[in-house]
Structure 1
């Protein structure tokens, strides 16, 4: 009730959105849906990409509002700062972890360096002894020759410089004794000498004429392109006139059931087909095919490519090579030519232009690029920090997938933390295309997609025990260890606790294995005993080894508990290392 008037108070209705707001909300929903589909199809639907997508949505909402724009902008800035701080923290964590591993390996590295230095000193001493012995033998031979008067270093006539007993190069022994054969051979050598002098005069030009020749070549190429354009126009015009003439001739010979205008319109409608039939769409087409062979066409195509490359038209040369007939220029030799051009001119990137044109004209089903060129192209793009270009090639399946390519992209991501997530996603896609489930699962684990990696490994029938141990040693996270040592969707555990701990204690991640045992021990006195007794994959000797490692690393209570459980089993006797008789009879008690 309204206290002032005594009338019932009207209920407050929610605000009715305007047509503009409704259209805006619908456009936002459509944008979110399309971006999700795009990311899912590209295999990039992770946390970072979702954050970027919703950040764009937030920007659109801020731009649409008017009254709440300042406060929304402030909120977004705070969230962006928090996200950037988290990313910086992750990068710093990776760098610090690597630095810690480097520092931890310094003692062992120093030991190996000292051992290697000692080996090298021994080899140097051996080489010096051998060198001294060889020098003594050489000096002894020189003394003997000096005494006998056959010193090769003694100055003398031409006969002393050339041994007459040696055969003449290029002649048989019996010919070298024939004066007529010797005379002919001398004439032959004089002719070769004169031919070389003539070749120097006729086949080579001074270097200062290069610029003039380059200008003439450029003008000739330009004139050739203009003539080709005029020639194509004339061919097209001739084709149109031929169609009209043929249509009129056919109409005259027909029963004239349609008018001449209709017949001409039908003929003109075939102009697109005429272009395919008349205009040369391939390098082998020619206005007079009977006068030119396929080999000559290939030779002209290669010469045209060389002209473009020498004149510095790298983009045109790259396109020319990428569309070469029968792939005669889509090879490593052409790549080396572009690489040499890049060494001469550091301002442009001819090699990158070549790979862009090559991959742009290829696909897995048509004109596939071999693995060597694919790897070289990706190396070239990443050396120029063109990660987005590599993403396009991989997602559009423009390249040939190989394990070496995935390894290189993953290593590049390890060296560039800013691109690490993108490179891991690309490497994961490449490994899955190559059916390398081991490395594909590792990339998923490194991207914190442990649950997805476990689903993938359990569904992949050929994922072996060694593959699981590879994952555990290269990405030993608590989530992964928990997933591998427990049942997964009704399937038995991939690894037993003993197997997991044994694989970890001899790596740099042994603390994860000790933490796993500590967690089990903290669940109760019987928990650790049940784990050891039910572990059919790890023997009791293996658990004794685990107990010894626990003791060496400061986990005395855990080591004693494991030893007590193992020694309490029937037929197991703990043997002292000092009892030699017990060592002899060890096989009896085991």
Structure 2
């Protein structure tokens, strides 16, 4: 506070203030006002909102200290505030009136401009109408002129005089004209392209300038942040060192840090989470969409696929974009756009990024059609896809249609089935690859599989080796399948009947003791899972000549012919007849006797061996 103001305030308050505390209060109040004016940078003269705020705060302090005249001071302050508000309202009204006048003048100018343009357009329309009339007259003159004296190129004399040939030629010409017009509609003049290229270069230069400015601001932001952190820690620690030393050491640290950070990219990486950005995410997405549509419409499908795969927030990594690429027809021998999109999706995905189930199905189908099985193998082994049963079925079908790549396709299908816990399909894929023993071990040790599942695998991949492994008794438990149940299911289908007959022939070739032991083992111990029908099927007495005729579910054999043991021995010692065929009364192989007694017209589930 200046000395003149101090003397003036003491002169005005000498007769009012009596206590030293009041004088000190007034002194502090003046100092407060001067300090606030300096901080707010109030102008020296003239009305100002900031000065009004400072005086109102000072007046509030005086009212807070007063006691006897508090109500009077409050009334004075209220009237003072009302007067200020009224002045501000009048000023706002005056400003609004000025804006209204300016808008009216602008509308008047716009109206005059529109009238001039309307007059110009009317004149232009009249000119065009006159030129159109002249052109129509010229066309009429050409029509009424003499006939064409030259022949139509590309037509013979006879075709030139044939109305049908001329009609066909006219249609061809019209088709060519339409094609040219359509092609012309997709093109722009060279000047437009030159202009767009110039705008693109200008935008790139502007981008580079903004990037350089951004880098400069980043460095400045880093320096200011370092100073702020040092000052904050200095204030929290209780100001242990003088401020001058702190500022000097901080500036020295900043200079050293600037010398070490020669690469501006490191600064960007350091402050990428804290640096404010002005880029709007929605505008970025719109730019990506426009860029993608531009590339797609210009038939740059590879660039369009990469742009769609790299779109922010994955807005284009969906099945709708895949359908867009699938709808494009390309020349034979070239890569399909849908395959290019699938390739881009795989190689732009993150470490743990998986494509959705619909995208996985469509992408694998496109890759298989393009012959890119190695890409599918990469996607499956690196877990880039969502594993589903349909995906494994697609690979299985491709393996059946293309035997040359069947092993790899079935291997990938096995991985997918195991991931989806479809164990019986995984076992079936092993069997189709020829891994019969591995499939049998898998069926034996997988707790989720039952006898029905094993039978399902056997019926879809029938083989004697698999049937023997599944019907072979285990060391500590019964076999997975019963001989009777497995043979009954296989005999029901004429295409799989030979496998069951081969199994029975193997039993007969090993002798009666092997067949009896197998049958008794199956009957005494039962079978794993819910395969109880086999126990009933083989629960009857075994005929020494071979296998008894049983009925499903009956639990007993049909009436047969009792055979004496001596007769059985004579049958075994009887020599075959001429030509190697069995003599009369000799025993035939089981397969021969079964084929002679089972006809395709009978239901083998109702009557079988």
Alpha carbons of 1:363 and 1:489: their partners in 2 closer, same or farther (altered >3 Å)?
A: farther
Aligned match of 1:504: 490
Question: Which stretch shifts more, 481-490 or 534-543?
Answer: 534-543
Of 563, 582, 587 in structure 1, the residue corresponding to residue 548 of structure 2 is 563
8 Å CA contact 2:550–2:558 kept in 1: the answer is no
Larger Rg: 2
Residue of structure 1 equivalent to 2:211: 232
Per the TM alignment, residue 230 of structure 1 is displaced from its structure 2 partner at its CA by: 5.0
- Report which stretch shifted further, 451-460 or 530-539: 530-539
Q: How far apart, in 1, do the equivalents of 2:535 and 2:496 lie?
A: 23
**Aligned-residue CA RMSD (Å):** 4.1
Which deviates more, 257-266 or 508-517?
257-266
Residues 129-140 of structure 1: matches in 2 within 5 Å?
A: none
User: Does residue 1:519 correspond to 2:476, yes or no?
Assistant: no
Among 554, 574, 579, the residue aligned to 2:559: 574
The answer to whether the 8 A contact 1:363-1:397 is kept is no
Aligned: 1:243 with 2:222? yes
TM-score, length of structure 2 as denominator length: 0.50
* Equivalent residues of 2:548, 2:557 under 8 A apart: no
Change (3 A) 1:257 1:227: closer
Question: For residues 276 and 351 of structure 1, what CA distance do their matches in structure 2 show?
Answer: 36
Output the CA distance in 2 between the equivalents of 1:397 and 1:389: 12
Shift in Å at residue 304 of structure 1?
2.4
Answer yes or no: is the 8 Å Cα contact 1:218–1:311 preserved in 2.
Answer: no
Contact 1:243-1:268 within 8 A present in 2 as well: no
Alignment of 1:167-186 (within 5 A): none
Asked if the contact 1:485–1:494 (Cα under 8 Å) also holds between the matched residues in 2, the reply is yes
Query: Is contact 2:482-2:535 (8 Å) kept?
Result: no
C-alpha deviation, 1:372, in angstroms: 1.1
1:334-483 aligned within 5 A: 334-343=321-330, 347-362=334-349, 365-366=352-353, 368-483=354-469
* CA deviations over 1:249-284 (Å, ceiling 9, x no partner): 979965267585543333565755632476799xxx
Structure 1 pair 516–352 and aligned structure 2 pair: CA distance change class (3 A): same
* Cα distance, 1:231–1:280 mapped onto 2, change above 3 Å: farther
* Alpha-carbon distance in 1 for matches of 2:209, 2:269: 18
Q: Which of 317, 331, 345 is the equivalent residue of 2:304?
A: 317
Partners of 1:499 and 1:538 within 8 A in 2:
yes
- Counterpart of 1:308 in structure 2 is 295
Structure 2 equivalent of residue 3 of structure 1: none
The answer on whether the counterparts of 1:232 and 1:279 sit within 8 Å (CA) in structure 2 is no
CA–CA distance in structure 2, aligned partners of residues 263 and 296 of structure 1 = 36
The alpha carbon displacement at 1:207 in A equals 5.2
Change beyond 3 A, Cα 1:526–1:459: closer
Secondary structure in 1 matching 2:346: helix
Q: CA contact under 8 A between 1:476 and 1:509: conserved in structure 2?
A: yes
Structure-1 separation of matches of 2:477 and 2:506: 23
Paired residues of 1:321 and 1:329 also in contact (CA < 8 A) = yes
1:427 is displaced (CA, Å) by 0.6
- SS of 1:337's partner is helix
Note the C-alpha offset of 1:353: 1.8
Residue of structure 1 in register with 2:470 after alignment: 484
Deviations 1:156-184 (CA, angstroms, capped at 9, x unpaired)? xxxxxxxxxxxxxxxxxxxxxxxxxxxxx
Distance between the aligned counterparts of 1:279 and 1:540, measured in 2? 73
Distance 1:363 1:451 in 2: 39
Secondary structure of 2:188's counterpart equals helix
Deviations 1:31-71 (A, max 9, x none): xxxxxxxxxxxxxxxxxxxxxxxxxxxxxxxxxxxxxxxxx
| Shift, 1:364, TM fit | 8.3
Q: Is the 8 A contact 1:485 1:493 kept in 2?
A: yes
User: Match for residue 266 of structure 1?
Assistant: 257
Structure 1 position 288 matched with structure 2 position 274: no
CA deviations 1:477-511 (Å, max 9, x no partner) are 23211211113463421101111211222331321
Counterpart pick for 2:246 among 251, 255, 258:
255
Which residue number in structure 2 is paired with residue 145 of structure 1? Answer: none
Unmatched segments (≥5 aa) in structure 1: 1-204, 548-557, 577-590
CA contact (8 A) 2:459 2:490 kept: yes
Provide the secondary structure at the position in 2 that maps to 1:448: coil
Give CA-to-partner distance per residue, 1:385-441, whole Å, 9 cap, x none: 111111111111111111111111111112112111111111110111111001111
Distance 1:461 1:565, change over 3 A: closer
Work out the number of aligned pairs and report it. Answer: 353
1:474–1:539: structure 2 CA closer, same or farther, 3 Å change rule?
A: closer
Question: Deviation of residue 313 (structure 1)?
Answer: 3.5
Give the structure 1 partner of residue 184 of structure 2: 208
Give the whole-Å Cα distance in 1 for the aligned partners of 2:218 and 2:433: 61
CA deviations on 1:539-566 (whole Å, 9 max, x unpaired) are: 6884699x9xxxxxxxxxx996212799
Q: Is the 8 A contact 1:441 1:457 kept in 2?
A: yes
Q: CA deviation at 1:328?
A: 1.4
1:498 to 1:351, Cα distance in 2 relative to 1, 3 A: same
Query: Cα–Cα, structure 1 residues 417 and 531, in superposed 2: closer, same or farther, change >3 Å?
Result: same
